[in-house]
Structure 1
Amino acid sequence: MPDIIYILEMIGVVAFAISGMIVARQKNMDPVGVFTIGFVTALGGGTLRDLMMDNHPLYWIKHQEQPILILSMAVVFSYSGLAGRIRESRIVFPDAIGLGVFSILGAQLALDLGHSWFIASLLGVMTGTFGGALRDTLCNEVPFIFRKDQIYASISFAGCWLYFLCQWLLASESLALTIGLLFIVIARMAAVRFDIRLQRDHHG
């Protein structure tokens, strides 16, 4: 199981870093900017989670391969024509993967440290959404989590609770993790595709 967790963590890092770098290139940032935005998007949520739970050393300090990977990706993104051909709308899928992976893993770590389901779900949401919020703020965009036309944090919250319930009912950590992760990714993609939102403007 720890190997699966590590693989998922790396998938989440790559997915969120890609989403950050796409936006950074759209904003015509130099390689340092591309790396910075990729870094805070991929590792910002986990850093906040570790700081709030006093979990030291921070995950990415213990696993230096993560910032090294992000640096390598930033070089490729900056000096290849790849990023220029990717539209900003393309960040939705990698962002959804990052949201799913980090929400569930953040919630799981909180459970492992003895926190309640409710506190673990809040920490899961923070882990899943904070990196993207930093990306959008630094790139002068309204973060997904605060946009009325986006359903985002609530999907993360629901996915964490689905993970807890599946873990309790199915007694299978890996199956519960898979179900929670797939729910968040699919629900996020569906929300964007079908314009599902928590609140709509009423014009009367």
Structure 2
Amino acid sequence: MVDIIYVLELIGIAAFAISGMIVARSKNMDPVGVFTIGFITALGGGTLRDLIMDNHPLYWIKHQELPMLILAMAIVFSYWQRAERLRESRILLPDAIGLGVFSILGAQLALDLGHSLFVASLLGVMTGTFGGALRDTLCNEVPYIFRKDQIYASISFAGCWVYFLCQWLLSNEALPLTIGLLFIVMVRLLAVRFDIRLQRDPGNH
């Protein structure tokens, strides 16, 4: 039987790694830089989560195939000529997918380790956003999570609670995962498309 959690983790890691590598290539980084940014984007949030919860060994150390996958992707990205023409705006979809996957899976891991719903939701947000925040910081960009013109962490937080609610209402294990993931991805994309923000400057309509 296919392990749906592991498949989702692979999708999230690949999506976040791609978003990091697109930004790295746009900053004219060499292959080492492309790998580093891809690695940090994909695994930074999960690493912080594991350290906070004292969950050892760290997930990517336990599953060494994950950094190996990122390394292979970095090599392809570094020598794929068309990658140079990918603009940073192209990271929106893979970043939204990574945000959704890691927010939900991070929250579930926290629940599995016995934490409360509220703490699990915060750890889910941390898992989903920290890698992207590191990516943007290292690439000299203001992280999405701190931009007034972006709605980001709050979508992750709300998505975790949608997931918890679906777990309570539905007996099927896969359905709450799917609903929570799609909620985060779709709301993130719609927020960017329609310029939805938590706060606007006075006079900015």
Q: TM (normalized to structure 2)? A: 0.97
Letter in 2 for 1:100: G
Letter in 2 for 1:181: L
Which residue matches 1:133? 133
**How many positions carry a matched residue from both structures?**
204
Which residue matches 2:111? 111
Which residue matches 2:38? 38
Deviation string 1:110-131 (CA, Å, 9 cap, x unpaired) is: 0011111000000000000000
Q: Distance in 2 between matches of 1:203 and 1:174?
A: 45
Which residue matches 1:143? 143
Which residue matches 2:5? 5
Q: Which runs of 4+ in 1 moved over 4 A?
A: none
Q: Structure 2: any 5+ residue segments left out of the alignment?
A: none
Which residue matches 1:97? 97
Does residue 50 (structure 1) correspond to residue 50 (structure 2)? The answer is: yes
Of 170-179 and 157-166, deviating more is 170-179
SS at match of 1:82: helix
Query: % of aligned pairs identical?
Result: 83
CA drift of 1:92 comes to: 0.3
Q: Structure 1: any 5+ residue segments left out of the alignment?
A: none
Provide the aligned C-alpha RMSD in A: 1.1
Which residue matches 1:152? 152
Deviation string 1:135-162 (CA, Å, 9 cap, x unpaired) is: 0000000000000000000000000000
Q: Distance in 2 between matches of 1:111 and 1:82?
A: 42
Q: Distance in 1 between matches of 2:81 and 2:2?
A: 36
CA drift of 1:80 comes to: 1.2
Q: Distance in 2 between matches of 1:40 and 1:108?
A: 21
Q: Distance in 2 between matches of 1:169 and 1:32?
A: 46
